[in-house]
């Protein structure tokens, strides 16, 4: 009886699994046989991931925290108020035809529950545009004790209940960003902490119906060359996929948001789009299983044009994954500057966003030429020690 009670209390499947219990007809010890499947949301997760990783489309990252959104607004002379954040986010989600180029939009929690300036739910506006709503679920970076001034990402406490609530609100994918700093090591401790945190988050998100975007950002900070970035990225992604497997994460139901393999921002030797593509694709082929549906690159402070040219170079031949974009500043910068907080500039700002989205759509298809780009779009956006 004691052993049966222990089995029932300790080894029954989680709610995302199912089981059958079979007892023998003779007075023998209880026999328990389990038939386990990946999760209640398995089919939906695969469908969601494939929808986001659809040809010619990528992700608009608009999940800046209220503090970071305030910095963006301050750059155009606006106060950081909910009304101003609402006005800017309304401009983004309501751009006519945006869904032709954008398959998903990552939102901050405020935005997920927010309405547009004309009273429509942001989520509903996105869905009408055939854009999948997503949600940032991490709670930001904090110092990692025992490391070389490195960080770890917090937010696992209460994550399951938050993910369940976000799913009910209409979110269908999630994002968790942690970072690795090359100038600071990276230490084995920081890499392992980043990988483990991402894996636990991914498992919890899938268990609650959200496709997890796995994002260990290798920061651009530093004067190292492209070879050093490549070596660090190999170590990071090896560790990440080891722990994803250890946590039984279903690879067909995730998306990746890696950094491109580039030299450090302060390196005197710059890389061409062809070099960035060669190193980045070599990394992906060595570390990323083809079961993963989509690789949605972050821009990491590159200029709008640079990020688009690099993506285009990676799509000059067939890839086993959908190789696309998940850009924030590299989609929004010119749009924000064009708007300037003035209602009469909304259409021009939306046109700038659509131009940028279309350019990256063409890059995903390997057809971007750089034609029609503005001087603003060529300006680099790297910020040393960038936080958001």
Is residue 215 annotated as a catalytic residue, yes or no? yes
Q: What is residue 186's three-state secondary structure? A: coil
Active site residue 252: no
Measuring CA to CA, which residue among 231, 237, 315, 303 is closest to residue 270? 303
100 DSSP assignment: G
Pairing relationship of beta strands 173-180 and 132-136 according to DSSP bridges: parallel
What is the radius of gyration, based on Cα positions, of the chain? 22
Burial 108-142 (b: 16+ CB within 10 A, else e): bbbbbebebeeeebbbebbeebebbbbbbbbeebe
Nearest-5° angle of CA 160, CA 46, CA 93? 75
Rounded (10°) CA dihedral 196, 200, 202, 206: 160
Copy the structure tokens of residue 366. Answer: 């390997």
Q: Single out the catalytic residue among 257, 304, 306, 373.
A: 257
Distance between CA atoms of residues 311 and 181, nearest Å: 23
Q: How many CA within 13 A on the CB side of residue 48? A: 27
Token representation of residue 200? 């636990």
- Using DSSP's 3-state secondary structure scheme, residue 378 falls into helix
**Which of 181, 170, 217 has its CA nearest to residue 197?**
217
| CB 217, CB 178: distance < 8 Å | yes
Which residues is 176 bridged to in the sheet? 214
Is the CB of residue 245 less than 8 Å from the CB of residue 202?
Answer: no
Question: CA-CA distance, 195 to 239, in Å (whole number)?
Answer: 6
Residues 118/125, Cβ–Cβ less than 8 Å: no
Give me the catalytic one of 64, 215, 217, 239: 215
User: Which residues are tagged catalytic?
Assistant: 215, 257
């Amino acid at each position: 009886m004691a052993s049966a009670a222990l089995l029932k209390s300790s080894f029954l499947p989680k709610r995302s699994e199912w089981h059958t219990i079979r007892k023998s007809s003779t007075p023998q010890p209880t026999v328990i046989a389990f038939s386990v499947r990946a999760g209640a949301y398995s089919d939906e997760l695969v469908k969601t991931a494939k929808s986001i990783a659809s040809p010619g489309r990528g992700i608009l990252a608009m999940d800046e925290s209220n503090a970071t959104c305030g910095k963006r607004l301050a750059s155009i002379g606006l106060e950081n108020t909910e009304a101003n954040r609402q006005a800017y986010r309304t401009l983004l989600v309501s751009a006519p035809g945006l869904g032709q180029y954008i398959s998903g939009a990552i939102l901050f929690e405020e935005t997920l529950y927010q309405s547009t300036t004309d009273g429509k739910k942001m989520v509903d506006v996105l869905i009408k545009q055939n854009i999948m709503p997503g949600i940032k679920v991490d709670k930001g970076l904090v110092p990692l004790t025992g490391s070389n001034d490195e960080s770890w990402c917090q937010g696992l406490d209460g994550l399951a209940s938050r993910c369940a609530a976000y799913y009910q609100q209409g979110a269908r994918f999630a994002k968790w960003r942690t970072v690795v700093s090359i100038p600071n090591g990276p230490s084995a401790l920081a890499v392992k902490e980043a990988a483990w945190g991402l894996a636990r988050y991914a498992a919890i998100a899938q268990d609650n119906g959200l496709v997890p975007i796995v994002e260990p950002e290798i920061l651009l900070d530093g004067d190292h060359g492209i070879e050093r970035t490549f070596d660090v990225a190999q170590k990071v992604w090896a560790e990440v996929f080891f722990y994803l497997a250890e946590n039984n994460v279903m690879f067909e139901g995730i998306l990746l948001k890696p950094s491109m393999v580039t030299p450090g921002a302060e390196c005197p030797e710059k890389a061409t789009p062809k070099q960035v593509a060669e190193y980045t694709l070599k990394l992906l082929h060595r570390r990323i299983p083809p079961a993963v549906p989509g690789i949605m690159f972050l821009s990491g402070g590159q200029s709008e044009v640079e990020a688009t040219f690099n993506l285009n170079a990676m799509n000059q031949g067939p890839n086993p994954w959908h190789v696309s974009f998940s850009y924030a500043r590299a989609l929004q910068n010119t749009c924000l500057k064009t708007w300037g907080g003035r209602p009469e500039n909304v259409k021009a700002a939306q046109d700038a966003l659509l131009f940028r989205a279309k350019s990256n759509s063409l890059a995903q298809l390997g057809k971007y030429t750089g034609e029609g780009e503005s001087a603003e779009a060529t300006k680099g956006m790297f910020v040393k020690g960038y936080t958001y």
